[in-house]
Amino acid sequence: MSRVIGFLITGVTDREAPFVILEDEKVKVGHYYFIKHPIHSSDVLLIVHSIRPYNPEMIVGRPGILTAQKGIKVHSGRYLESHIAYAEITGYFDEKGKWRPLELAPNVGSEVYQPTEEELDRFFKTEKRENDCHYIEIGKVRDTNIPVYLDLNVVAKSHILVAGMTRAGKSSFIVNLAVKSTKLTPRPRLVIFDRRREYGSLTKYTGVKIIPYSHFIPLSCSPKVAAKKLGLSEKDAVVLENALRSLGANLNRERLLEQVKEEAENFYKRPSDAERCRQYIEKKLSRDGGFLFEQRETLDAIEEVKKTPTLIIDFSVDSDIESQHLAAAGILGKIMRHAMAERGNFAVIVCVEEAQYFAPERGLEITESTAQDEVKARFVEAISQAGGYNVGLVVMTQRPAYVTKSIISQCNSVACFRLKSGNDQDAILQYTEQGNEKYRDILPGLADHEALLWGLALHTPFPVVAELAVEEYPQKAIVSAKQAWQKMPLQQGRDLPIQKPKIEEHVSY
């Protein structure tokens, strides 16, 4: 049975419930507690977001603080020491089973209960009944065996932001989402933008395929990289880049030389400079430009998605950020156009890792790319329009403050792992649809593979702190740094032996 662990105090409203914790009772941040509805017999659910000590004797000017200042233990004040828990009133289920926010403030002095796991479990079973849901179990409610579910059908119709500090559990969350999706019928379609080759472990599951991003663009490299490879000057590089962009996939030597001539005449005011540029680029292309005309197979992103349930696009094969942006823009654009044309016969969830590289906030671009605006435009367009056509985005980032707010504001669900930066917390709590400033105190204290989740994709209408189930880990370093150093022997003949420092003796005269 539930037991009384505190009483509401002054300051209670229909949304906030501060309560004093009874002596010797243990209340935890991120855990659930009950109060009784002021009118009905329903249980009202609270989630504690912060706990603070309170002792009136320690107010400035009272004897307690003066005693403590002298280093003397304040024995007389212990009986006055209290802890106040501040909790959000999330709501309750009415007699028809509908979730409702509390309509009026409860009374000061009302009892606060610690629910049993069975009593709490009732709040997690009501919404998971709809026929059109496609649930996966992603973990358990913290310190319980109550399962937490994510509805992939909702993710495909809207979008989810997955944020948190490095090594907190974001990639593990996506890896295990993909693993669990392999067991569903019908099988969800996932596309994962993998920037660090972290998802290779998924290939042991049926229907998972890794393809380098370069297979989705017709050129062997971006125009900017091509000009750099040829060693062109800054001005001549602009001429070649413009020519390559004008031709796009229709690239052959004759057409490129014609386009170079046209671009040179447009760029240089003096005909002699234009002719010099044309001749110089033609010479460079003849001698070193064979890589531009290599025959290469270009894959159709839509066909690959249709035949591959989990498609991993590998962006780790090189550091050509401009080509990566071109490929990402092309894939997102093609998926969105196809989904809008099919109107119900196509659905996919696109997981974009390190979203700050593809859609950075203005002025916070991490890498330079002439294709940056294009991929950002496709990203914003997809997240703004494609959800209604069953194309959902999973936006992953360790720095939400660096991601454009037009992306974050479209995410109807959030899975936030440990996050301590105030700017990053602001980006989530202020711009997501159901963000709440009260969650700020919960986010820094989350353990590894714990997340605070809220939003439409969750099977509950209130936030949940969940311990995530990890069946598979991302492919990162599999040993510690110390173990790696042990496997790195000194190279004979090149590494000098370690010498002890010579200590000079000091003689007193």
DSSP state letters, 6-41: EEE-TT--SSEEEEEEPTT----TT-EEEEE-SSSS
Joined together, the tokens standing for residue 237 give: 């590089």
For residue 313, what is the enclosing H or E element? strand 310-314
Joined together, the tokens standing for residue 121 give: 């479990």
Amino acid at 469: A
Which parts of 174-298 are beta strand (E)? 190-194, 208-212
Residue with tokens 């070649």: 240
Q: The pTM is what?
A: 0.84
Strand partners, 212: 314
Domains and CATH numbers, the chain: 3-123 (no CATH), 135-217+298-468 (3.40.50.300), 223-293 (no CATH)
- Residues whose CB falls within 8 Å of the CB of residue 103, separated by 6 or more in sequence, listed in order: 14
CA 175 to chain centre: 13
Task: Enter the DSSP assignment of 287.
Answer: H
Q: CB-hemisphere CA count at 13 Å for 213?
A: 29
Cβ-contact 293, 253 below 8 angstroms = yes
Q: pLDDT by residue for the chain (509 residues), tens digit each?
A: 689 999 999 999 999 999 999 988 999 999 999 999 999 889 999 999 999 988 776 666 666 666 777 777 766 555 677 899 999 999 999 988 899 999 999 999 999 999 999 999 999 985 555 567 899 999 999 999 999 999 999 999 989 999 999 889 999 999 999 999 999 999 999 999 999 999 999 999 999 999 999 899 877 777 888 888 898 999 999 999 899 888 876 678 899 999 999 999 999 999 999 999 999 999 999 998 888 887 667 899 999 999 999 999 999 998 888 889 989 999 999 999 999 999 879 999 999 999 999 999 987 776 667 678 888 989 999 999 888 899 999 999 999 999 999 999 999 999 999 999 999 999 999 988 788 888 999 999 999 999 999 999 999 999 999 999 888 888 775 567 888 888 887 655 555 555 555 555 544 43
Distances (CA, A) of 209 to 179, 203, 217: 13, 6, 18
Cβ-contact 441, 51 below 8 angstroms = no
Q: Is 226 helix (H, G, I), strand (E, B) or coil?
A: helix
Q: Which phi and psi angles does 412 have, rounded to 5°? A: -85, -5
Strand partners, 114: 3
Measured CA angle at 432 (ends 430, 435), to 5 deg? 65
Task: Enter the DSSP assignment of 505.
Answer: P
